[in-house]
Amino acid sequence: MAWLLLIFTGVILILLHKQWPKWKKWYVVTFVTALVACSLASTSLGGWLAGLLAQLLGALFGWTGARPALVAALLVVIGILAVAYGLRDKKANTWEMCCLFMLPLLFIISSGPIAAGGGTFADAVTNFGSQGLGYLISG
């Protein structure tokens, strides 16, 4: 169901940017981006992308001796603060949506209580979207 939600919300996000400018409100774009990101993280493709991101973090910060899980946990905290600070102006800027899109993938990489809480939140958002989509399909 995560794949179906990923495809559905991805198409909705593309249509919001191309065809439906009337519905392109900051809260709609933020919510749909969160659904896309969390559903991507719940698929095998998201696990593969998280593995690639972990390798990239290891390559970038390997010279410091920091593990990718620690760097990802720090990036999660920075990303949450950046998204919260950026959404104060009630505009869905590109960098805020990129941070929001990367957060579920960083939850997979990081370890500790940040990863546990973030993973639970990402699963809850995915289940919320899947249940809503199932309700829409079933009528």
Chain-centre distance for alpha carbon 56: 18
Residue 13 has pLDDT above 80, yes or no: yes
CA atoms within 13 A on the CB side of 29: 22
- The letter for the amino acid at 63 is W
pLDDT digits (tens, 9 = 90+) for 107-119: 888 877 877 888 8
The count of domains in the chain is: 1
Which residues span the domain enclosing 30? 2-138
Residues 123, 56 contacting (CB under 8 angstroms): no
pLDDT digits (tens, 9 = 90+) for 26-80: 888 888 888 888 888 888 898 899 999 999 999 998 888 888 888 898 899 898 8
Closest Cα partner for 12 from 26, 27, 28?
28
